[in-house]
Structure 1
């Protein structure tokens, strides 16, 4: 959901918090006003999509509703190659009323009054090529762990203070993003980290943080899942 922040800042936040995304899995960016939020322009939407596309090699869909779509033009968003997921309730399935605002559509959300096994759902019709070469993941739970759930503000500030030792120059706002993690990865190379300096943290990045935390007294496992003891030890290093 877009609107409140700058497109580039929101893109970096999105990329830093994206978990377990596998190549080919579709992404969507929802452009509409909620709770009186600003509504992104064509240029802002295209900027967000372009940053995500460049980083992941996947072009997010544009999701919006028909009256908003047709109230403006979208040349920059269309130029990114973004497919359209359009909400237009009341129109026959597969016949969204969008005129020439976006010459083609990939998915039409035509109703919010569906039901599956007693659960209320929206109803959509997708073109056969809507998802390109994407395939469904194998059955069962996703085997990939989420090594870094959202952390308390104070722990985020601790990470940013440590990241400054690796060249991070951003704010100490407790919301670590790509720049923070690049600083942490740069710093971690001195401790044996050999992964990419890409600002996209994974298990190797968090293991490196736990190794660093050992200097501050951390005695737990190097499992790549930092917890309260990891952050306490890291905080002891910078206070």
Structure 2
């Protein structure tokens, strides 16, 4: 009996060590940036004086698709090395179908590349933090389950995101589509539509609308916006628009 307990303990040691190592990595990254696509707002905005109204461009015209669509030709198999630019063809394809800006999709992927995206590490971290986000676009379960409704990936599962990067990009694109549909025609804050959508992706639709009204983003949301701006030119080059 004692030998059996020792044997079980030895089997658990590598799992515990892996989880602790991943915790340290993600905890360090999260000091300046939290998981995105959260089902609830993460920042508490503070009021600020409004600026001149910004007019929104026409909303995306592409309706949610319920028909099967051809997958991009580039392989989406996961690999130890991850560079968002390697998925430029998927980003362009999914952005076109959802009617959103491919540069925005790519810039968000760069923003979300702050933590390891190996499937085994993501699942080990999820055991430590059950509400963690999955996939290269860092999407939470509740957000994914809402976004997939009426879409051609409605039968897919949130648990598949770490292994299927194209699915993660597709869900990201349609979430941005839904956020864009929620924006008003005009807003008082000095942000572009893409910037507001990125803020919405990071903090939720409710906060996005508050920011559009002129509420000041909290430190986490502001950091996310700063990173987006820093990644904008690189994202444009990655999708062939720079």
Q: TM-score by structure 2 length?
A: 0.26
More helix as a share of residues: 2
More strand as a share of residues: 1
Bigger CA radius of gyration = 1
Q: TM-score by structure 1 length?
A: 0.26
